[in-house]
A and B are shown apart, each in its own frame.
Chain A
C-alpha cells in the first residue's frame, strides 16, 4: 500500500495555496474498520490528506530542500462524516513560512458541503532538532509525492504556475 491520501492536485499556486482531491471508495479496507456495516472514511486520514496537500505546498515553497514534517495539529474540527463515493476537496493555504517551518490551514469539502476545518504546523526538522542528525537525502519528498505534483503540472487541464518556486529548481518540475 502506498501512503498517499490525495489523488490529484487541481490547483497549485506556489508559496500560497493548493487544492487536491481524494476519491473515497468502498474498496478501501480502512472504511470498514470503524463501525460494522457502516463504512466511513476515518477522520485521522482526512487530517493526513490535508497534511499531504499542505505539506507538498510547504515543501515546494522551499524548493524541496527541507525535510518538512507534520509537527502539530493545532485544530481539527469535523462537521460531517465522509462516506464511500464522496469526493473530498482539500483547500490548503500557507499562513506563515520561515526558515524553521510553516503554518497552514484549510478546509475539506465534499459536494460543496463543509467536512472539516484543519490547522497544521510543519517543522523543517534539520533546523529545529539541534544536535540530532538525519539522513542527507530528503526522505520526506520521495518520488511518490513529487509525482503527484509532476502529474498536476503535466496534466494540461490547469495552467502551469507562472513563476518557479523560490530558490531555483524544484524537484517536482518535470
Chain B
C-alpha cells in the first residue's frame, strides 16, 4: 500500500530527530539539514542508514546525498561551475543526478557555497516518496 506524503514526513521527522539530536518541532519541510538542523558530514551517512532501516529500502551510494568525490569532480568542471556560481547546465546536471532536490530554492543565487541548502527535509521526503511508492 502506498504511503502518503504526511506519513513519510512524520517518519522522516522522527529519523532526523534521532540522528541530529533536535526536537521534532524544529523539523519543518523547508529546513535545511546542515544550515537549520546542524547536520555535519558524518550525519549524512547516519541519516542514510536510518532511512534505509525505517523504510526498509536500499539507498545506493550517491543517490540521496552526493558522493563527495563525484561532487568534487562536478564542482571543478567549468561547464557546471564558473566564478563560484553553478551554471544553468550545472543545475540541469544536479537535477538529473538528484531529481528530489528543490532546485528552485537556489535559482536566484546559485553560489556554490549555497548548494548545501538544496538538502532540505523536503528533499529527503521527495526521495523516500519516489522509492517507497515506485
Which residues of A does B touch, CB under 8 Å? 71-72, 74, 95-96, 98-101, 103, 121, 123, 128-131
Contacts and interface: CB of A to CB of B under 8 A. Distances in A.
B45 A101 contact: yes
Contact of A96 (B41, B42, B52): B52
16 contacts: A71-B42, A74-B46, A95-B53, A98-B48, A98-B49, A100-B45, A100-B61, A101-B42, A101-B45, A121-B42, A121-B45, A123-B45, A128-B41, A128-B42, A128-B68, A131-B72
B111 interface: no
Contact of A129 (B18, B46, B48, B68): B68
Interface string B8-28: 000000000011000000000
Given A72-B46, A101-B42, A129-B68, 19 more contacts: A71-B42, A72-B43, A74-B18, A74-B19, A98-B45, A98-B48, A98-B49, A103-B49, A121-B42, A121-B45, A121-B46, A121-B49, A123-B45, A128-B41, A128-B42, A128-B45, A130-B69, A130-B71, A130-B72
A131 B45 CA distance: 18
Nearest to A99: B61
Contacts of A95: 49, 53
